[in-house]
Amino acid sequence: MTVKTIIAFGATSAICVALLRRYAAAGASLYLVARDESRLAACAADLAARGATVTGTSAYDFNDAHRHSAALDDAAAALGRIDLVVVAHGSLPEQADCERDDALVRACMEDNLTSAAVIMHAAARRLEAQGSGTLAVISSVAGDRGRKSNYTYGAAKAGLDAIAQGMQGRFAGSAVRVVNIKPGMVASPMTAHMEQGPLFAHPEDIAPRMQRAIERGSRVVYVPGFWRYIMWVIRLLPTAVLARLPI
């Protein structure tokens, strides 16, 4: 299905921007939601210059759970029909910091799971009422197995997996699609502090594959694709072996 109207939550994220730029080039209409007002304005102007029609923006912290359905209403009014809802926000705390700081654990869950869960449920109602449309959520390979290097973040992302799977069941046989996007390591502000090894991809490199998965309505897509095999191996590793690996 070709996507012409989009509401994006976390529209200032580097990965989301790379995806939206592809839709902008194709002349899509966008409604953009993000936390920071100036960043949002900068991204909106960029996408407009690249060919998108930006029909509206809304800036607020996504932990304000009551604002999401209003943003969706606003977007539906501006766009008419919503072909695609993207949920792209997230935050990656250091695992070692989470082990010391309970408030950070909670913030990690709120940024990555609670807020996204509310958005997904609200968006699902909207798409169900429309009778069609695609909900794409960016989870992570980190959710595939609890690993000592990032299990707090991984747990939140695994929560998104469960929601996506459940919704795929709920909408089976209808024209509503739920696409679970699992990036591997991507060079973005979130990972800027890390050593950028050869496994790192760039947002513009993974955007085409994300777009294809969205257009096909794939249930799960690893980006880049080789992460599917890496995670397959990691899921099969015996616990004792995994514990000894530095990952």
Ligand X SMILES: NC(=O)c1ccc[n+]([C@@H]2O[C@H](COP(=O)([O-])OP(=O)(O)OC[C@H]3O[C@@H](n4cnc5c(N)ncnc54)[C@H](OP(=O)(O)O)[C@@H]3O)[C@@H](O)[C@H]2O)c1
Kindly tell me which of 14 and 109 has the beta carbon lying closer to other proteins: 14
Do 43 and 11 meet the contact criterion of CB atoms below 8 Å apart? yes
Is residue 196 at the binding interface for other proteins, with CB under 8 A as the rule? Answer: yes
Kindly tell me which of 60 and 200 has the beta carbon lying closer to other proteins: 200
- 153 among known catalytic residues: yes
Instruction: Identify the H or E element spanning 136.
Output: strand 132-138
In whole angstroms, the minimum distance from the beta carbon of 14 to other proteins comes to: 8
Number of residues that bind other proteins (CB under 8 A): 17
Contact of residue 22 among ligand X, other proteins, none (CB under 5-8 Å per partner type):
none
In whole angstroms, the minimum distance from the beta carbon of 157 to ligand X comes to: 7
**Residue facing ligand X at closest CB distance:** 90
Catalytic: which of 23, 31, 153, 222?
A: 153
Q: How far apart are CA 27 and CA 162, in angstroms?
A: 33
Q: How far apart are CA 179 and CA 163, in angstroms?
A: 11
Q: How far apart are CA 46 and CA 172, in angstroms?
A: 37
Contact of residue 192 among ligand X, other proteins, none (CB under 5-8 Å per partner type):
other proteins
Burial 214-243 (b: 16+ CB within 10 A, else e): beeebebbbbbeebbeebeebeeeeeeebe
In whole angstroms, the minimum distance from the beta carbon of 49 to other proteins comes to: 3
Contact of residue 46 among ligand X, other proteins, none (CB under 5-8 Å per partner type):
other proteins
Task: Label the pairing between strands 29-34 and 53-59.
Answer: parallel
Residues that bind ligand X (CB under 6 A): 10, 12-15, 34-36, 39, 61-63, 88-91, 111, 115, 138, 140, 183, 185-186, 188-191
Kindly tell me which of 51 and 131 has the beta carbon lying closer to other proteins: 51
**At 30, is the secondary structure helix, strand, or coil?**
strand
> Which is nearest to 152 in space by CA: 100, 193, 188, 82?
100
Binding-residue pattern over the window 12 to 51 for other proteins, x denoting contact by CB under 8 A: --x----------x------------xx--xx-xx--xxx
- State yes or no: cis peptide before 224, omega within 30 of 0: yes
Amino acid at 59: A
**Active-site amino acid positions:** 153
Which residues contribute to the site for other proteins (CB under 8 A)? Answer: 14, 25, 38-39, 42-43, 45-46, 49-51, 189, 192, 196, 202, 204-205
